[in-house]
Amino acid sequence: MTEKARTAAPLRREHMPTDYSISLAKYTGRGTPEEQRIPDNFGPNQSMRGFEETYQNIIDYIVRITYKIWEDRDVEYIADTYAANSEVFDDYGLQHGCQKIISDTHHTTSAFTDIQLIADEVVWAGDDEIGYHTSHRTLIRGTNDGESKYGPATNKPVDVLVIANCVALENEIFLEHVLYNNSSMLQQLGHDLTELVPKLAADPFPGWPRTDKTWDALRNSTRPVRPISIAQPIAGFDVDRFARSTIDALWNQRNSEHLSAAYAPDFPFDGPTDRKFSGIVSYQALLNSVLTAFPDLEVQVDEVYWMGNDADGYLTSERWSAQGTHSGDGVYGEPTGKPVQIWGITQHHIVNGRIVREWLLFNELDLMMQIAK
C-alpha cells in the first residue's frame, strides 16, 4: 500500500521573513563583482531540522539541489530530495511520486544536453516545523539537440521562464505547483501552436486532463480557511490584503482604474507564451484578451506568502486558480462553449505600496488543449 502523502499546513503571518538576510541576492552576491551561481559561502545558518547537514538555509537547499540534479546530471538525487509519494501539479495535471519526476528529468536532459536552470529569484516563507514554502523563479536555457515528446530535435535554443512553488520538510519536497511555460518553449522550438495543440489534445500526456478531485486538490492545498489578512489583521500596509484585493479588482470586478493605484506606470512584465512588455496600457490589453475570451471567468486566490518589509520592499508569491467558459472571440479563437480551468502563479516586487515588477505564469498550453479537445 502506498503511504499517504503529507498534507501541507497553511502559513500564518509569523512565518513570513521580515528582511532579506536569507535571500537569493545575499546568497549569490547578485550585482557585485563576487556574484556566483553557487557561492563558496553558503550563507547564514537557519534551522534545518531533518535536512542534510550540508545545507545552511532554505535558499541554499533549493538552489544547490536544482543545480546538482540538472547541471551536475545527478538525476537520481531526486529520490533523496522529493518524497516517494510527492504530489506535483504541473501544466498537465497531477504527477504522483518521485520516480515520475526522475523519468521526466532524464527525458528533458536527453532532449537538451546543455540545459541550465538558473535561479532568478526565490521567495520563501515558513520554517522546519510547518514546512518551508519556496516560490522558485528559474530561467531554463538550452539547445534542443535530442528527441523529445514533442518531436525530433530542432537544434534551436530556448530561454524559458519557470515558477515552481514547493513545500519541503526534512530534506524532502512533498508538494509542488510548477508551471514550465511550455507554450513559450514550443514557440521557441519553432512549433506552430495552432497545428500542434489539437494533436496534443487528441493524445494527451499522463496526468491530463484533470479530474474534479485533482482540480480541487490543486486549488485547496496550502489554502488557509480564512485569508491571513482576515485571520490576523494588522494596521498599515498588509501584503496579503493588497495582493488579494488587487487580483480581485482586476480579474473579478474588471476594475481597470485599480491598475493605476496598484502598479507603477512603466512596470516590467514577464508572462506566458513569450509575453514581455512594460506598462499599464499593455497589461490592460492582456487582461482584456483573457476576459474577452472567458467573460464569466472567476478567479480565487489560493495562497499568498511574502518576504520583506515596508522600508526594503516586498517580494511576493500568489498562487491562484480560475474557472470560466470559452464563450468569447479573441486570442483563443472562435468561442467553443468549453468550460476551462486556469491556474497560475504570480510573483510581485512591491515598493512603497505599489507593484514595480510582475512575473506571471499560467497553464496556457493546457488551456489551449482544453479548448481543442
Cα separation of 13 and 125, whole Å? 10
Q: Taking the chain, what is the end-to-end CA distance rounded to the nearest angstrom?
A: 34
pTM value is 0.96
Q: What is the pLDDT of residue 116?
A: 97
Exposed/middle/buried for 331, CB within 10 Å: 0-12, 13-18, 19+? Answer: middle
Q: What is the pLDDT of residue 25?
A: 96
For residue 81, the one-letter residue type is T
Cα separation of 243 and 237, whole Å? 11
Exposed/middle/buried for 14, CB within 10 Å: 0-12, 13-18, 19+? Answer: exposed
Cα separation of 282 and 288, whole Å? 10
DSSP 146: S
Question: Residue 343 in contact with residue 320, Cβ under 8 Å?
Answer: yes
Q: What is the pLDDT of residue 209?
A: 78
Among 274, 273, 269, 271, which Cα is nearest to 259's?
Answer: 269
Cα separation of 182 and 185, whole Å? 5
Q: What is the pLDDT of residue 1?
A: 39
The ranges of the chain with pLDDT < 50 are: 1
Question: Residue 180 in contact with residue 90, Cβ under 8 Å?
Answer: yes
**Each residue's pLDDT tens digit, 253-311:** 999 999 999 999 999 999 999 999 999 999 999 999 999 999 999 999 999 999 999 99
Q: What is the pLDDT of residue 373?
A: 85
